[in-house]
Amino acid sequence: MTADIAAILLQDGIANGAIYILLATVLVLVFTVTRVIFVPQGDLVAFTALTLAAFDAGTIPGTVWILLFGAAIALSLEMLEAGARRDRARCVRSIVQFGVVPVAVALLAVLLVPKDAPLLWKMAVTCVLVTCISPVIYRIVFQPIASASPLVLLIAAIATHLGMNSIGLQVFGAEGVRTQGFSGPPLSFAGQLISQQVAGVVASSIMLVFVLYLFFHRSLRGRALLAVAYNRRGAEIVGISAAAAGRTAFIVAGFVGAVSGLLVGPMTTLYYDSGFILGLKGFVGAIVGGLAIYPLAAAGAVLVGAVESFASFWASAYRDIIVFMLIIPILFWRSVVNPHAEDGIE
């Protein structure tokens, strides 16, 4: 391997790692707030690329029907609970959240995104569509079992992923897509040529991470999320709704998943079931931080991207296996430095 090849592989690894940073960050966020390992996070990434490809082809994306059908179920559940409690304010709020907003977004996607629309407009509408799906998933699947054990929540997350795969196959088909990305002449940095796509992905990832930092540390809603993440019971005692915090966490996860889909779409061909591998690699990065420490999760994501890139060169057939094997030494090291006795054993 020459130095030039190593530099190219490192660029690809950093670009992939920048995307995995976003996935790892939201996986940590959702887990700390709701105790849900959000397995379908990668599905939102794949659905984003498929939605943008549908807009480019001049067709109505299947995401519109997924949103409308899911929102109808979520609204029905909300209205049943609000009616049983005679909570009129909740009825109005539910109609807006799961009725007015999804219908308005669906109409926007159907009527105001022609085939010749600017790419940025298509990307914006795609982000809104996918972001709206995430809180619908939370309301239907996870909010009713919010007090269940993490194992039950994990089983529900896996079931949701399998269901989304089946729905994705029905509404998008089995064909893969590759979307438009950053284009232009390569940039020169430290004597190395960097493609516009790599530079755009890294810059977008850094910008989004900075926006998330401002959201968590400068906004009231972001601080409420952190409060629930650090001490769920204490946050509820001081009046912070755990259900609202979970819904907000899923909205953030949906938005980050949508942005990740826009970034990864031009770099690889995505299918309806491609999201699982992407989400799993982000999960490997999150494991490095123990599903609790954001800087380490980001560092782990970059490591995953670099290992994946170099493994593609040396042993492409075993690339994914090598990446996932990173979990073994990490878990072994954690078991040594933080030993835990089994229940009932001193």
Q: Specify the 3-state DSSP secondary structure of 188.
A: strand
> In the predicted model, what is the mean pLDDT of residues 5-31?
84
Q: For 62-72, what is each residue's pLDDT tens digit?
A: 999 999 999 99
> In the predicted model, what is the mean pLDDT of residues 285-310?
71
Q: How far is residue 137's CA from residue 140's CA, in Å, rounded to a whole number?
A: 5
Go through 25-52 and write b for each residue having 16 or more CB atoms within 10 A of its CB, e for each that does not.
Answer: bbbbbbbbbbbbbbbbbbbbbbbbbbbb
> In the predicted model, what is the mean pLDDT of residues 25-32?
86
> In the predicted model, what is the mean pLDDT of residues 193-200?
80
Q: What is the pLDDT, as a whole number, of residue 293?
A: 53
Q: Are 36 and 153 spatial neighbours (Cβ–Cβ below 8 Å)?
A: yes
Q: How far is residue 106's CA from residue 324's CA, in Å, rounded to a whole number?
A: 38
Cα 79 → chain centroid: 28
Q: Are 20 and 201 spatial neighbours (Cβ–Cβ below 8 Å)?
A: no
Q: Are 164 and 38 spatial neighbours (Cβ–Cβ below 8 Å)?
A: no
Residue 187: phi and psi, rounded to 5, are -95, 155
Q: For 152-185, what is each residue's pLDDT tens digit?
A: 999 999 999 999 999 999 999 889 898 887 776 7
Inform me whether the pLDDT recorded for 256 exceeds 60. yes
The residue behind tokens 């049983």 is 84
pLDDT band at 296 (very low <50, low <70, confident <90, very high): low
Q: What is the pLDDT, as a whole number, of residue 288?
A: 66
Q: What is the pLDDT, as a whole number, of residue 228?
A: 84
Structure tokens at 1: 């391997």
Per cent of the chain over pLDDT 70 is 92
Spans of all domains in the chain: 3-175+194-337
Q: What is the pLDDT, as a whole number, of residue 184?
A: 67
Structure tokens at 32: 């700390």
Q: Show the 3-state SS of 216-284.
A: HHHCHHHHHHHHHHHCHHHHHHCCCCHHHHHHHHHHHHHHHHHHHHHHHCCCCCECCCCHHHHHHHHHH
Q: Is the dihedral of CA 138, 144, 147, 150 positive or negative?
A: negative
The H-assigned helical ranges of the chain are: 3-34, 41-57, 62-85, 88-95, 101-111, 119-137, 150-172, 196-218, 220-230, 232-237, 242-264, 275-288, 294-314, 319-324, 327-337
> In the predicted model, what is the mean pLDDT of residues 194-223?
85
The pLDDT mean for the chain works out to: 85
Q: For 108-151, what is each residue's pLDDT tens digit?
A: 999 999 989 999 999 999 999 999 999 999 999 999 998 889 89
Please enumerate in sequence order all residues whose Cβ is within 8 A of that of 284, keeping only pairs 6 or more positions apart, or say none: 300, 304, 323, 324, 326, 327
Torsion of CA 46, 50, 52, 53, to 10 degrees: 140
Q: Are 180 and 120 spatial neighbours (Cβ–Cβ below 8 Å)?
A: no
Q: Specify the 3-state DSSP secondary structure of 2.
A: coil
